[in-house]
Structure 1
């Protein structure tokens, strides 16, 4: 669907209307047709055939033209463009006391104008009812030749045109109305003199360095051709940048027409960071490529190392973390040259300013006697203010102002030595969060860093265990692919994974696409060495926005084909932490849940993969989502297990999972998987099993997530079966009983 409409109304009239004593022109009608030919040229034109109207000769009637122009004005949008071109005569009636001209159409009757002044194409109509009403950007080009003797014996026409120059917002004009000259037509070129120059300019002679012809460049070009008197130019707002013709390339390869044709005249809405891209990049380089970072393997960083890295990055004399508590000043950590006693007057000033500004400003600078101290608050708790204090930093980074303080707070709060990629992304994400957007160079730098960060992760596979009363029936049902920074880590890198949501869809989709490809390829390799025949199902997490992206779906297809993995092996788990709703600028014709249901159904049919709800119990969880989406399984988040009404909630999930099959709409109920189960859970495996839930995932079986696939040992299967029968782990049962007593008490309104 087009986002903007570019319309042109081209009028050419050789004859002089009804009983208008003006000589016929020879080339006006051909001029309008030639203008249409250029605007619609397959090589250089920027207008589509259906949006260019031509009113030529006897077909150029004032009533049709006015109706067409008025419709365009009323239905216009801010992104639309309108070009009106007229070649012919102009007339100012003898009876008129106003400086207002008529463009002479084929049916203009000068005698009726005294009684019906609106029965014609009047300049005041164009200005008031068309261009002032047009919501977008509009342009007028007039080639009104003074050919022969006008009925306007006083030659007031030129002055009448000058009154049109009253400014109209979003409108530009180019008027060729020489005063009292004979026919301004060129037999040599077969055009009006003015239009012949227009055509030359549009065909490339008025092009800028990128071979694009804007209205502003065209007006300048025509004005330099020596026409006397010179044409009247009114070029304002987007006139200098709106493109009329482009270089001769295929239409699908052209730059968007919203791209300025003359970059020197654009006026972007500036972000405070737009002028700081170089400074930010330099500071990041000094922090993340310093000797302190490069000299160590990944590990935890202490305060002293953080302070030294910041001192180095700002080329400061010294730096410290200082705690202010009432009148007391205590140095928590510092570089060697920091002297609290010498700096006490500045520190006291800094403490006072920091206390006042800690809620409204991320930092401030205090100076006295040639020394300066940058103070950035880090935390405030129980009357104790912890600040990063930098003594005599270089002036250049100080000019960054608030962005510098935001970066320093982010640098302080991340572990620079453990994972420099994630730490640098953390700093850029802090800027993104605070200022809304980054300059293009920094944004692309962040996107490249994020790709590297995700690609550096390892995929491990956590088993989903099928419960049974008998040890022989306890087995691994399937696996879930989980991202880890390192294979032996238990915790997910949530900070790195979730920061994509700060940056938007492009980062989310790229994250999910990279993790999906890594999951499928790693799983195929692990499955080749697995101890059983046949491939067990694999679940992979995905965001709602990724499932709506064609590029993500393409990655699913190619990854499955490359790994030679059957599509039905894969289940994509849709997180309940993602809203199902249109993105910015999107419009869905159906209700969100219905639209997404249809989308998943189509994907399932085309890709032959399965879908599941993940993290039920958090975020945007709803029974409607569970019941209405085409899912093969429902995964319950571990937070449900620790809810006072956990058993009741799990029972409700089971009923929803059976809803479609109970109504005969599905052959079998959806599987329910309880995630995050461990030995600390107040709900027992027996209670879960008795509810009809036979699949559990977590750290209870003795098996941890790994890059390899292994069978459960007999000892593990025996212990799980005993727990399911209620014969094991009395402590867990007692804890569960206590939880239910509390739940019943809460239901009665007790404490």
Structure 2
């Protein structure tokens, strides 16, 4: 962990800039010098020479001040502290929205601001470009008129959805007066009034035994009943970050952040709303700093992850430790992790873990030397007790408590190096599922991130093969569009697709709309280049909630029109894993199945598309649902094939598929498609064909899923026909013989 750095930028200006119609001040510059003197005081000051920059009089130029502040913000780590003090005038231009102001420096040109509004030291610059960026703990003191404008100075620079965001949680401020009010100088005290009492507080009249935190200073100033009343803004570390210390030697001072209760363990707290910006910055350090970390090819995956976590928390070291036995075993660790030095804390952790292995997401273990361990339980296949141990993490991040523990566990379980997009979304989803909601800024970030994740997926097309005892009759009946993180992956990104259900309808509908758009466009392009004669039907998966959304339905129509595809070739497959029921706060005028039936009938008529049931045999499967909905086909999940009564269950599905036809309500039976068929299926192709099931989808004849549309190989057609006739008893021998699409790859076992 990089040592904690404490910076201060102190500004005082008596004279105004060019053509600024404001009277000169008498004490602003001496106020800045007095504040600087206290911070650097040999006995009580907590800042070191060289880390406090003083700008007064003609030397207080806005370009220099902005450059210094921006440099500190970009160079910061979570352990750092920044204090900014300003005494002087403020200027609110007539053309502004009255939600921003300039801190008047010696070179401010008021007339030029109309054309060059960034040529000055704006409150919005401090908030947006300094304190929002600074990764550690930051403080601002404004002893000037209109100081209270700082509270609202960001509103004109953000979108409406962000207008009510919470302030940076590691940032605190003391403002001399509300917006529109004056700050005053005192001839009696020869200081600005705010600064006079601020200096009294720092020089020992506030605090406990000479140690004064920012909050204690603020409380002391507020007790002086100043008029107008100052405006305090207190963030997470305002109560604990000391600005001055008792008059003892620097060598003998304890750490500024020494624990209050050494030798104790405590559960992490759960104040999610108070830590939105800390969460955002930590996500950035984990998922958007790969180049700064510098991946090393010889490192194992575990070693890389502990190093990522060490960097993200600005920690001394990080390790994964097995506490299951009397011998503490280090599974993986960063450099400088010293097990022997930390043994007392690790033994304390092990003792507590023995009583409550996974009762809480994380613990903070401390001792009287000021050392801290953040201990997070990690999942393991057996009953071992494994902990992620973070040594001396940055205080500003450590105070996140339980959200931090949840994030670390999710980071460990995800793939932050090879798939940072999905990994970051997994972390946010873990927070959502644990705490039930996220602050608006994080929710919006998650939605944008999920759009990118789904939008980055590739669509592949898996054929539905029509069975026939004649080789010439074996053909491609249709295709199903399947999402993949990469085109060469055999498995569906189930975790990424299922994340939407943790977030609710907005994410589900957006997911389905993006996948539909991708599927239709990709299919239209593949069909133009295909050697397969005629355009085959295409199936795309959809959730129940999306079909109830008018915006999704509008997307279906627009996408089909833009791709110039005939709507009748498209089938939307409704998963049986989705409940057909009203959402929270909804009321349907009919029973759920009847209401949904009416909805599908209307959509089929208006859009001229088809609907099918998918995954029959799992989830909310029921004969009533299958029989009563206006479906053009039924897809049976592979789980049915492996059921002891598979043949009898399939017979029943076929009967239901024929039911409407038998009653004369439909010209033909609905096709039944068995998906996920492979070489391990206990039901043969002959049995399926004899039952009246003539369509199969899966991998039993090799990996024929592709981003392109290719015809079946004649040899494969012949082998499938042989299996349908029942002339080959060991289907696995047929698979071993090879085959697939022309130019297809090797066989891949298992459902996509």
Partners of 1:295 and 1:659 lie apart in 2 by 64
Does the residue aligned with 1:425 lie in a helix, a strand or coil? helix
**CA contact under 8 A between 1:315 and 1:394: conserved in structure 2?**
yes
Kindly report structure 1 stretches of 4+ aligned residues shifted beyond 4 Å: 292-301, 380-383, 731-734
For residue 324 of structure 2, what is the aligned residue in structure 1?
325
SS in 2 for 1:696: strand
The alpha carbon displacement at 1:296 in A equals 5.5
- Where 2:307 maps in the other structure, the secondary structure is helix
Secondary structure at the residue paired with 2:720? helix
The gaps in structure 1 that reach 5 residues or longer are 1-207, 211-253, 256-263, 265-269, 735-751
Shift of residue 728, structure 1, vs aligned partner: 1.8
SS at match of 1:276: helix
Q: After TM superposition, give the deviation of residue 702 of structure 1 in Å.
A: 2.7
CA offset at residue 732 of structure 1? 5.8
Map 1:248-287 → 2, pairs under 5 A: 272-287=271-286
Which one has more relative contact order, counting CA pairs under 8 Å at least 6 apart? 2
> Structure 1 residues 375, 271: closer, same or farther in 2, change over 3 A?
closer
Shift of 1:291: 3.3
Deviation at 1:295, TM superposition (A): 4.7
Q: What's the CA shift for 1:274?
A: 1.3
Cα distance in 2 for residues equivalent to 1:353 and 1:601: 60
Offset, 1:514: 0.2
Q: How many residues align?
A: 473
How far does residue 294 in structure 1 lie from its aligned partner after superposition? 7.0
Q: Render the CA deviation track for 1:311-360: whole Å, top value 9, x for unaligned.
A: 11110110100001231200000011001111111100011223334332
Question: 5+ unaligned residues in a row in structure 2: which ranges?
Answer: 1-96, 100-159, 162-230, 232-268, 735-752
Instruction: Determine the structure 2 residue equivalent to 1:340.
Output: 339
Q: Report the equivalent of 1:400.
A: 400
Number of the residue aligned with 2:660: 660
Q: RMSD between aligned alpha carbons?
A: 2.6
Asked if the contact 1:322/1:387 (under 8 Å) is kept, the reply is yes
Q: What secondary structure is seen at the aligned counterpart in 1 of 2:376?
A: strand
Q: 1:309 to 1:733 in 2, by over 3 A?
A: closer
Q: CA deviation at 1:576?
A: 0.3
Residue in 2 that maps onto 1:304: 303
Q: Per-residue deviation at 1:652?
A: 0.6
Question: Does the Cα contact within 8 Å between 1:467 and 1:695 map onto a contact in 2?
Answer: yes
Alignment of 1:155-194 (within 5 A): none
CA contact (8 A) 2:451 2:511 kept: yes
**Does structure 2 conserve the Cα–Cα contact (< 8 Å) formed by 1:467 and 1:720?**
yes
- DSSP-derived class of the 1:390 partner: strand
Seen in structure 2, the aligned counterparts of structure 1 residues 382 and 301 have a Cα distance that, compared at 3 Å, is closer
Q: Is 2:351 the partner of 1:349?
A: no
For residues 329-728 of structure 1, the aligned pairs below 5 Å read 329-368=328-367, 369-379=369-379, 383-728=383-728
Distance 1:527 1:380 in 2: 47
Shift of residue 425, structure 1, vs aligned partner: 0.2
Partner SS state of residue 459, structure 1: strand
C-alpha spacing 1:296/1:657, structure 2 compared with 1 (3 Å): farther
Partner SS for 1:508 = helix
Contact kept, 8 Å, 1:292 with 1:305, in 2: the verdict is no
- What is aligned with 1:114? none
The 1-side partners of 2:561 and 2:681 are apart by: 40
Output the TM-score relative to the length of structure 2.
0.61
* Displacement of 1:731: 5.6
How far residue 733 of structure 1 moved from its aligned partner, in angstroms, is 11
CA contact (8 A) 1:299 1:417 kept: no
Q: Is the 8 A contact 2:679 2:731 kept in 1?
A: no
CA distance 1:733–1:652, shift in 2 (3 Å): farther
Q: Deviations over 1:641-683 (max 9, x none)?
A: 1111111111110000000000111111100000000111111
Deviation of the 1:293 alpha carbon: 8.0
Deviations 1:421-464 (A, max 9, x none): 00000000000000000000000000000000001000000000
Q: Find the residue that maps to 2:314 and give its secondary structure.
A: coil
For 1:298 and 1:674, how far apart are their aligned partners in 2? Answer: 45
What secondary structure does 2:284 align onto? Answer: helix
- Displacement after TM superposition at 1:299 (Å): 13
Query: Against the structure 1 CA distance between its residues 691 and 300, is the aligned structure 2 distance closer, same or farther, given a 3 Å change threshold?
Result: farther
Please name the residue that 2:234 is paired with: none
Q: Distance in 2 between matches of 1:555 and 1:300?
A: 46
Q: Would the aligned equivalents of 1:684 and 1:732 in 2 still touch at CA under 8 Å?
A: no
